[in-house]
Amino acid sequence: MRILVLSNLYPPDYVGGYEIGCSQAVDALRARGHEVLVLTSAPRLPVLHEAHVRRALQLTDVYSKYAMEHSTEVFQRLAESEAHFVNAFNVYQLTRVLEEFRPEVAYLWHLVGLGGLGLVACLQYLGIPWLWHLMDAVPSTLCSRLGRPVPALTALFGKQIRGRYLACSRRLPAEIEAEGISLADQVELLPNWICGPRSPAPTDFFRGDYLRIVSAGQIGRHKGVDILIEAAGRLRTNGYGNFSVDIYGKVSDAFFGDLIDRLDLNDQVKLQGSRTQAELMALYRDCRYDVFAFPTWEREPFAFGPLEAAAEGCVPVMSRICGNAEWFVDGVHCLKADRTPEAFAEIFARILDGEVDLERLSRRASAVVWRDFHLNALVPRIERALEAAARQPRPGVGSAREAYHLALLAEKLSQVLIQEPYCA
């Protein structure tokens, strides 16, 4: 198949697991003989050229907290409009690539920052069938303004935009639909994955003397890093000193360091800084961590971190309600806890007291992840979904010229509507 992949960023330029997942899926599809072209934004730092990656789009980086916080309100709104609604330049680039590459299907990923709504509308207008891989609530974000879905847009999206979706957990389409976007029954669930050659099965397990806890990902309250630190504090208050917590990730808020200081946990809890995905996998293996603590929020679609840790024999201890909890069974492949410091501390204490057979959990989780959550096991399902999408009817075929005209009109209109109140 000829597959056109659309993504806001593409490794080595990436923000998180969504873009890494995209590049892994692209590599797997190419390895199976598909002709894949990736259309993404110009990188934020120089990267090597790859023949199958065209970095021709403009990215409006609304994720740059510093840039957004230090700009005027009108700039913020214009940037948001360009990132979510329409960027005529990107629509133009898309139409050119479509004419040149003539894909059988478009495979959509994270589109925030590219004027994603305009790109999807363009595909719809030109009758290009598409499959959207959802690892976040991107459709509802694209229909949002100032952090809230615009009802008129969500209603229009549900009516006009027709395609197929792959979602990494059931709660993700539920969240999108709760914000007013109807995805009809075009959603198939496909879990996130690990990839790469299988590591040797773990042989060194927790023996009851010292518990090594690890966590990795964004350092933020939504990921529950504060809950983890407080759980460590409670554990020590309850008389347990034989444990350590290593937290990997970019620290951009002094709060967490201060919390560790305030609870006097510097000997036990350490912020270890950022690591690449490969480095983390090696760390889970080489540092012989026992559990991966993941007290994340309920919105979590399905994080890669606990999956990768489980593959290396590190048992996930996760919130009872999150996307990951849909795929692993409590007490069989993982341990689940209420999202409170008390509940997490209690689980760690139970492990330290020898009430949990961590070795069996670790062996099971590792085996299951390598067998059923490896990309090689899942890529045939992606192929089938792409084929099914390509077979969809293509109503309302317009021309690329018209699509670009409409994009220009929409872009100007949104700019005028945003700027007008500030000029009055």
Partner 1 sequence: MRDLVFYNAACVQVTGARRLILPLRRSVRRLLLPLFQRLVEILQTFDLDLEQVGVRQAQLEATQKEREAEIRRLQQQLAAVSRRQYDLEAFQLDHEALVRRLAALEDHVEALLHERMLGEPR
User: Between 236 and 336, whose beta carbon lies closer to partner 1?
Assistant: 336
Unique residue bearing structure tokens 């009430």: 355
Report how far apart, in Å, the C-alpha atoms of 163 and of each of 123, 143, 160, 184, 391 are: 10, 16, 10, 10, 11
Q: What's the closest the beta carbon of residue 304 comes to partner 1, in angstroms? A: 17
Q: What's the closest the beta carbon of residue 165 comes to partner 1, in angstroms? A: 18
First to last CA, the chain: 53
User: Between 88 and 335, whose beta carbon lies closer to partner 1?
Assistant: 335
Candidates 210-218, 231-239, 252-260, 331-339 — which segment interacts with partner 1 by CB under 8 A?
Answer: 331-339
Report how far apart, in Å, the C-alpha atoms of 103 and of each of 23, 37, 53 are: 18, 9, 14
| 271 is a site residue for partner 1 (CB under 8 A) | no
Binding-residue pattern over the window 129 to 168 for partner 1, x denoting contact by CB under 8 A: ----------------------------------------
Residue 127's φ and ψ, nearest 5 degrees, are 70, 30
Binding-residue pattern over the window 170 to 209 for partner 1, x denoting contact by CB under 8 A: x---------------------------------------
Q: Which two tokens stand for residue 407?
A: 């994009």
Candidates 5-13, 207-215, 233-241, 326-334 — which segment interacts with partner 1 by CB under 8 A?
Answer: 326-334
User: Between 271 and 368, whose beta carbon lies closer to partner 1?
Assistant: 368
Candidates 58-66, 101-109, 304-312, 367-375 — which segment interacts with partner 1 by CB under 8 A?
Answer: 367-375
Q: What's the closest the beta carbon of residue 189 comes to partner 1, in angstroms? A: 9
| 328 is a site residue for partner 1 (CB under 8 A) | yes
Candidates 248-256, 268-276, 365-373, 395-403 — which segment interacts with partner 1 by CB under 8 A?
Answer: 365-373
Of 49, 47, 20, 25, residue with least CA distance to 36: 25
Interacting residue with partner 1 among 67, 74, 201, 332 (CB under 8 A): 332
Bridge partners (DSSP) listed for residue 41: 57
| 330 is a site residue for partner 1 (CB under 8 A) | yes
Q: What's the closest the beta carbon of residue 331 comes to partner 1, in angstroms? A: 9
| 363 is a site residue for partner 1 (CB under 8 A) | no
| 336 is a site residue for partner 1 (CB under 8 A) | yes
Binding-residue pattern over the window 282 to 321 for partner 1, x denoting contact by CB under 8 A: --------------------------------------xx
Interacting residue with partner 1 among 109, 327, 344, 404 (CB under 8 A): 327
Candidates 215-223, 284-292, 355-363, 368-376 — which segment interacts with partner 1 by CB under 8 A?
Answer: 368-376
Candidates 179-187, 211-219, 261-269, 329-337 — which segment interacts with partner 1 by CB under 8 A?
Answer: 329-337
**What 8-state DSSP symbol labels residue 222?**
G
Q: What's the closest the beta carbon of residue 330 comes to partner 1, in angstroms? A: 5
For residues 122 and 99, what is the distance between their CA atoms, to the nearest angstrom? 13
For residues 294 and 216, what is the distance between their CA atoms, to the nearest angstrom? 8
Of 175, 142, 174, 137, residue with least CA distance to 157: 142
Bridge partners (DSSP) listed for residue 241: none
Q: What's the closest the beta carbon of residue 368 comes to partner 1, in angstroms? A: 7
**Helix extents (H) in 179-276:** 225-237, 255-262
Residue 270's φ and ψ, nearest 5 degrees, are -130, 130
Tell me which H or E stretch contains 105. strand 105-108
Instruction: Outline where DSSP puts E strands in 135-199.
Output: 144-145, 148-149, 164-167, 187-189
For the beta sheet containing 187-189, the strands, ordered from the edge strand earlier in sequence to the opposite edge, are 53-57, 35-41, 2-6, 105-108, 130-134, 164-167, 187-189
CA 151 to chain centre: 25
Bridge partners (DSSP) listed for residue 212: 244
Q: In the complex, which residues of this chain contact partner 1 (CB under 8 A)?
A: 170, 320-321, 325-330, 332-333, 336, 338, 368, 371-372
